[in-house]
Structure 1
Amino acid sequence: MRRVAVTGMGVVSPLGNSAGEAFAAARAGRSAVHRLDVPFAHRISAPLGATVAFNGADHFDPPQLRMLDRVSQFALVAARQALADAQPALAEADRHRAGIFIGTGMGGIGSIDDGYQTLYGEDSDRIKPFLVLTGMHNAPAAWIGIEQHWSGPNLSYSTACSSSAVAIGEAWLRIARGDIDMALAGGTEAPLCFGSLKAWEALRTVASLDVADPSASCKPFSRNRSGMVLGEGAALLVLEPWDRALARGATIHGELAGYGLFTDAGHITRPSAAGQAAALRAALQSAGMAADEVDAINAHGTGTPANDGIETAAIKEVFGSRASRIPISATKALHGHLLGATSALECVLSLMAMQHSVALPTMHLQQADPACDLDYVPNAAREGVTVRSMLSSSFAFGGTNAVLALRAAG
C-alpha cells in the first residue's frame, strides 16, 4: 500500500472562503452561526444557520449559473482552490488516472425545493428545464470532472453526515492500492432552503435559539446542549501518492494515513457506541497506528443530546484510561453542521491544527455534563500542543460511521 499525501486544500465555508480563513476563525473561536435573515424566517421555530458569504455571479457566467445549484457552485470553487494549492501539473495523458470523489447528503435540494414550490405552491404546470440536472446528487462531481477534464473514476457518495469522510476514505483506498495517481476528494452541501430547514426541524434535532447570543446556540458536549445548527459549504482535498508528491516538490499538508468504516446496522437515527468504537478501531488498524499514538481527536460533536454522550462512551471504549488525556475538539459549534460536507471541512481544520501545533476549541461549553467528561478543549484554543497524529470522526443517520486517520507531514 502506498502512502497518501494531502497536497491541496480548498474551502468555501461559513468560517471563510479559504482553508487559511476557516482555520483562523476556528482557532479564534469565532462562530458563524447566526439568525437567518430570510423571508420565511418567521415560519421556522429556530431560524438559525451558518451561511457562506458567496455570490455565484463572481465565479460563473449567467449560462453556467442556470445549470448549477449552489451545491455545485461551492464544489467547483473549492476544487479550483485545491488544485491551485496543489499545482499538480497533470499531463493530458494522465487524466484517466485522476479521480473525483464527492460526498453530499442532500444534493441540489435548493433547486428541488424551488422547483416544487413553483409546481405546487404557485399551481404552475411549468418548471425549470434543468431541475433534474441541478438537483441530482452527482452533479457536483460531474461538473468538476467536466471542468478539469479528469476521466478517471467520478463517484458521488451519500451517507448522510459521513458522506465526505466516506468520499475521502474511498479516494485514499484507491490511491493507496495503486488504482489511480491523484484524487479530488471531499464534500459539498447547500441545505439552507425552506423545505430542508422545516424537515430538519420536524426531526427535532436542531438547536433551540440562544436568545442572549444566537451565535452560541450550538453547544457540543455541554449539559445544556439542545441540538445542531445547519450550515452550508464545501471542502476538497487533493490526494496523491507520497513519493510522487516528494518527487515533484509539492507542499505536503499532511498524510491521510488510514480510514475506518463501520455500520451500526441497528437504528436509522439512534447512534451506537459500539458501532462508533468499531470505526475508530478500524481507522487505527488501517493506519498501523496504536491507540496511544493518537494525539488529538476531531469529534463528530453535533450538539444533539443523544450523540455527544454516546460518542464520549465510544472514545472511552477505544482509548480506556487514556481517553481523558486526549484533546477533543468539536468545531460544529462554530461552522454549523454542513451535513455531507462537514467531514471534509473538519479534515482540513484537523490538518491545519497539526501544522500549527494547536488543539481547536469546543466553543459554548457552558455546563459540565457528567456523561461527557473528557477533555473537550473548552472555549479557547490550546496553543503549543504537539499533534503528530489524530483522528477525525463522522457518524451518520443510517449508521454509516467513518473515521479518517491523519499524520502530520514530515
Structure 2
Amino acid sequence: MVGKSILIVDHNPSSRVFLARHLRSKEFKVIEAPTGKDGLIAAWRDQPDLILFDPTLPDVPGKEFLQKLRGDPRTKATFLIALSSDPGPACRETCIIGGVNEYLVKSSGAILALDEILDRIYAAEEIHESPPPPPVPEKSGTLIVFLSGKGGTGTSSLCANFAMNIQQAQPESHIIVADLVLPIGSIGQIVGNHGSLNLVTVANLPSEQTNTEYFRKNLPIPELWKFQLLAGSPDPQQGNTVRGERINQIVDVLLSAYDFIILDIGRSLSRISLPLIQKADLIVLVVSTDQSTIQLTKTVCEYLQTQGIDSQKIFAVLNRAVGLEGLTKTEAEAIMGLPIKTTMPYMGSNFTLANNLNQPITIKYPTDTASIILKGTAEDMVKLAKRFQAR
C-alpha cells in the first residue's frame, strides 16, 4: 500500500500508537491526531486517502465530527472507518447514518477485520490485472421490506407471520425471509430456528460461493412456516462486523433466486438499509399506538420521501396485538399524514404465546380475527407489490 495515507484520530495514546505501528508495517503513510479538532484540521490540510477514527472523541461528538467531514468538499468522499470503543448499537447507528463506510468495534478481531477492509480497498491497485467482480444478478423477485420507526412494535413477528401467509397464498412460489436487523436479529427465535447459518456466517463467505444455488440448497425451512430463512445476527458483537456492501450483494443474489424476498429491517434505518428500501416493491411500515412511535414514524416517512421513495409504496400497519391503549387509527393517520392500510387487533396474551411456541398465528389460532386479517392482508400486499414491480 505504498503511497496511501491514513489519518488516525484517537484520543487513547496506546490505541493510536498501536494502530500507527501496525499500519506503517503495511507501508501506509500514517498521520496521527489525538483530538477531534486536530483530526479535522489534519483531514482538511493533508487530505488523506482514508480516515480511521474512534467516534467517542472527548472534544467533538462523533455525530458532529462526521457532519463536518461529510459537509466539507475536501473530505466529502473520503473513505471513513469508525473503530469504536463503544460497543453499543446507538453509536453504530449514529455513525452509519452519519456516513461512515465501515464500522468496527475495538475487540480482539478488530485488526483482522481492518486488514480485510484495507486489502479489499487497495489490494487491486498492487497487481497489474485483477479478476473481474462477480456479475450482479438482475432483479427478478418481488422485494418486500418490513420497517419500523421504533423498537417494540412487533415488526419481526408480523414479518414472519405475513411471510408465512404469503407462502400459503402463493404455494408454487419460492419465498425467502432475511433478518437484516442489526446488530442482533430475532426472527430465528420467533420461528424456532436454531441452526448456525445466519447473516454473519453467510457474509463472511466469499461472494462467489454465495450464489443462487447456495441459498436454495442450504437455507433452512422452519417447521410450520413454509419459507426459507436467512436468520439474523446472533449477537451484537458479531453483528457489528458485518460489512454494508456485503449485505447488498447478498440481497442482489436473493432477488435472482426467489420469487418473493421479504426483508426484516426493523428500526435499522441507515446507509446500509436505505438502498434496499429504495429498490423495494413494497415497504411495510409497522407502527404501534403510542404517540412517540407515531411521531418517529412520521419522521421516517418524511425522510424516505426526501430520498425519492414513492409514498404510495408504503403499506402502514397499525399493530394493536400487544395492547389496547394509545392513539386511534384516525389519530395516528392525522399525525403521520399517511393512510393505515391494516390494523392488527388486540390479541391479549395469545400474540406472545404464539411467538413463544414458535407457531404462526394462523395455525395456533385459525379462527381468530387476527388470522383472518393476516391472510387477507398478505394477499393485498402481494397484489400491491406486483403492481409497483410492473411499473
Q: Give the alignment's TM-score, normalised by structure 2.
A: 0.28
Q: Greater relative contact order (Cα 8 A, min sep 6): structure 1 or 2?
A: 1
Q: Give the alignment's TM-score, normalised by structure 1.
A: 0.27
Q: Which has the larger radius of gyration?
A: 2
